[in-house]
């Protein structure tokens, strides 16, 4: 499989950078928030809950776009476009804990809302970069 | 006039932080890119051109959402939602130069595409923060 991530930019997804995730609201306005994420070379995964706006947005419009800037050189960025391919229940918060540790919280505990936690799985379809 | 920006968060817009701006494409997918911006206490302004995707997106759907993270504390962020209220021609690139200087390029020159530069003026209507 050939990655659509341009050469030299995969590191922006592999390092624990904050991404800014865009989704489309039911009224066709846009929502953007910073998010933790993990990239396995094929999909990008986020922790979220089934009770929040982004989850509802994605039920109506699965489009997702993630913008990541190089913290060492903010003129360098990668935008990844894709869509929600799956929302996997994470009722123990295990994925939340893994992401928390990835982002430097060595003692990360499961969140109070673990019961409704989900892993949002995003496909990687197109990119833009600079 | 009462600002909708929550107390303590205006600084995120006044400091030269990178913002991640979301717009909606004609096919209802979402675009997010890092952008320079300036905030005057009422509107947020960006430099762009009349020939690029974001400009075309905004002609069909004026919704804009800007996400800004505190570089000193990435768990602190502000999302500002609004819409394009005006696109002002900037044919000398003067606003581009002003933004470049704001972001630390003391010798910023006008860009090669000054002839088609525009200032995107975004209203500030709602916010979310953490």
Asked whether residue B119 is assigned to any structural domain, the reply reads yes
% of chain A beyond a pLDDT of 70? 98
Q: Tell me which long-range contacts B32-36 makes (C-beta under 8 A, separation of at least 24).
A: B32/A20, B32/A21, B32/A22, B32/A32, B32/A65, B32/A66, B32/A67, B32/A79, B33/A67, B33/A77, B33/A79, B33/A128, B34/A20, B34/A67, B34/A69, B34/A74, B34/A77, B35/B66, B36/B99, B36/B100, B36/B102, B36/B103
- In this complex, the residue of B22, B29, B71 whose CB is nearest that of residue A32 is B22
CB A32 to CB B61 under 8 A?
no
Asked whether residue A89 is assigned to any structural domain, the reply reads yes
Q: What's the confidence (pLDDT) of residue B11?
A: 96
One digit per residue, pLDDT tens: chain A, 130 residues? Answer: 457 999 999 999 999 999 999 999 999 999 999 999 999 999 999 999 999 999 999 999 999 999 999 988 888 999 999 999 999 999 999 999 999 999 999 999 999 999 999 999 999 999 999 9
CATH classification at residue A61: 2.30.110.10
Contacts of B93 (CB under 8 A, 6+ apart): B110, B111, B114, B117
Domain carrying residue A116: 10-129
Q: Residue B26 pLDDT > 90, yes or no?
A: yes
Asked whether residue B29 is assigned to any structural domain, the reply reads yes
Mean pLDDT over B114-130 rounds to: 96
Asked whether residue B3 is assigned to any structural domain, the reply reads no
Alpha-carbon distance of A86 to A45, in angstroms, equals 10
- In this complex, the residue of B32, B61, B64 whose CB is nearest that of residue A79 is B32
pTM: 0.94
Looking at residue B42, the DSSP 8-state letter turns out to be: S
* Residue of A76, A55, A79 whose CA lies nearest to A66: A79
- In this complex, the residue of A20, A61, A63 whose CB is nearest that of residue B67 is A20
Q: What's the confidence (pLDDT) of residue A1?
A: 47
Residue B2 exposed, middle or buried by CB count within 10 Å (0-12, 13-18, 19+): exposed
Tens-digit pLDDT profile for residues A68-90? 999 888 889 999 999 999 999 99
Question: What residues of chain A lie within 8 A of the CB of B66, using their CB?
Answer: 32
Asked whether residue B1 is assigned to any structural domain, the reply reads no
Q: Residue B2 pLDDT > 70, yes or no?
A: no
Tens-digit pLDDT profile for residues B67-107? 999 988 888 999 999 999 999 999 999 999 999 999 999 99
Q: What's the confidence (pLDDT) of residue B17?
A: 95
State the pLDDT confidence band at B16, using cuts at 50, 70 and 90: very high
Give the minimum alpha-carbon distance from B29 to chain A in angstroms, rounded to a whole number: 5
Give yes or no for a contact between B9 and B3, defined as CB atoms under 8 angstroms apart. no
CB B22 to CB A34 under 8 A?
no
Asked whether residue A58 is assigned to any structural domain, the reply reads yes
**Which of A25, A34, A102 to mutate to test binding with chain B, by most B CBs within 10 Å of its CB?**
A34
* Residue of A72, A103, A77 whose CA lies nearest to A5: A77
Asked whether residue A4 is assigned to any structural domain, the reply reads no
- Give the CA angle between residues A35, A99, A97 to the nearest 5°: 125
Q: Pull the structure tokens for residue A33.
A: 């928030």
Asked whether residue B4 is assigned to any structural domain, the reply reads no
Q: What's the confidence (pLDDT) of residue B1?
A: 47
Question: DSSP for A89-100?
Answer: E-TT-HHHHHHH
Alpha-carbon distance of B114 to B92, in angstroms, equals 6
Instruction: Tell me the pLDDT of chain A averaged across its residues.
Output: 95
Tally of domains in chain B: 1
């Amino acid at each position: 499989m050939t990655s659509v991530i341009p050469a030299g930019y995969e590191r922006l997804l592999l390092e624990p950078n904050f991404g800014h995730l865009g989704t489309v609201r039911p009224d066709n306005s846009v929502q953007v928030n910073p998010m933790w994420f993990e990239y396995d070379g094929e999909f990008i995964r986020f922790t979220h809950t089934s009770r929040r706006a982004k989850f509802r947005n994605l039920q109506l419009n699965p489009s997702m776009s993630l913008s990541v800037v190089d913290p060492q050189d903010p003129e360098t960025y990668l935008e990844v476009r894709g869509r929600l391919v799956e929302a996997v229940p994470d009722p123990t918060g295990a994925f939340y804990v893994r992401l928390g540790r990835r982002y430097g919280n060595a003692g990360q505990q499961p969140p109070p809302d673990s019961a409704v936690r989900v892993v949002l799985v995003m496909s990687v379809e197109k990119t833009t970069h600079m």
